[in-house]
Amino acid sequence: MSEKLAEELKLVGNQCFSQGKYGEAIKHYSASISVDPSNAILYSNRAMANLKLKNYFEAEQDSSSAIVLDPSFGKAYYRLGLARKELKKIKSALKSFEMSAKLSPNNVEIEKQCEALRKLIENDVKIRIDPILKKKTFQSTMPLKKIEIKNLDVQPMPSSNVDKFLSNYIEKLTMSHVPKSYKEFEKDWRELSSTTVDYKVKYLEHIDIKSLENVFSFPFDPKLLFEVIQVLSISQKYCFVVEVLEIISKMPRLELNISFFEENENEVLKTLFLKLLYVSIPLDEELFVSLAKKFMIKL
């Protein structure tokens, strides 16, 4: 039943896309993904709609998710290359196009993209990143007016009250619900997006190991995986961190996921392993070396 609903939503999204209604297409692809989050085609389709709307960050994330779900999806690599090219990630874009070329040989358009980026890199062309400007159609035509600014007598909430509010929010979330699947975890994580990393640490540490095994049995998208790594790098429950890393190491397509990490993200991952190496905890050396290898860390 859920697969049928997901397919129906996808078809409506495809129809909207063909009519140039890219925003509507994204809404339907997103609804379809919520029903069937393991379908790589849905993420790839949404990536293309985001490219049309110049939502390049979203297109990059959707393309990456599609590839994690289906590493042989040549079209997703191509769309990832397009997104990264627009984001001025030239070397990463070339890598994506080259992978797409391997999966879709003799494709003239892909070869053109590869050749153009190789020339940029070989000639060491300086990439200019322009500021984002509003189109004239979105700029106001109303004349400017002087507006007198008055101080309003509004008292800010004391920081202690803010902390108390956030603490109660986290406590309510964690006590009322422990995620049993990737879908539940991802939903909770989105709800925590407006909080600080410290609160994400508390949330993650609250989840029992068995539940975490269920959560990480599904391939994460690279952005979400890095956010979890970032949280682990802050946690001081080092034995717990090692346990979670061991669970993540068994996650489907982990190496592919990590290959999408940016240089600064890889540094966070490496720093986490170095910290574990020097903290005073009983550490199984063989296990630690094995984990480092699976996370592609050279110590």
Q: Give the pLDDT confidence of 97-156 residue by residue, as tens digits.
A: 999 999 988 899 999 999 999 998 888 755 554 554 444 544 555 565 665 545 445 455
pLDDT at 259: 86
| Residue that finishes a domain, picked among 76, 101, 122 | 122
DSSP symbol at 131: P
Q: Are residues 107 and 170 in the same domain?
A: no
* Average pLDDT of the segment spanning 2-27: 91
Mean pLDDT throughout 216-238?
Answer: 91
Identify which has the larger pLDDT, 42 or 221: 42
pLDDT above 80: residue 2:
no
Asked if the structure places residue 107 within a domain, the reply is yes
Whether 110 and 166 map to the same domain: the answer is: no
- Give the residue numbers spanning the domain of 179: 159-294
Distances (CA, A) of 235 to 60, 204, 229, 230: 29, 9, 10, 9
Give the chain's domain count: 2
Comparing 68 with 195, the larger pLDDT belongs to: 68
SS (H, E, C) 175-240: HHCCCCCHHHHHHHHHHCCCCCHHHHHHHHHHCCHHHHHHHCCCCCCHHHHHHHHHHHHHCCCHHH
Q: Is residue 152 part of a domain?
A: no
Measured CA to CA in angstroms, residue 86 lies from 56, 98, 116, 128 at distances of 7, 17, 13, 11
- Flag whether 202 is in a domain: yes
Residue at 165 is within a domain: yes
Asked if residue 195 belongs to a domain, the reply is yes
What integer is the mean pLDDT of 226-251? Answer: 93
Q: Are residues 111 and 47 in the same domain?
A: yes
Instruction: Quote the pTM value.
Output: 0.61
Tokens describing residue 178: 């422990």
Q: Are residues 89 and 193 in the same domain?
A: no
Tell me what pLDDT residue 198 has: 79
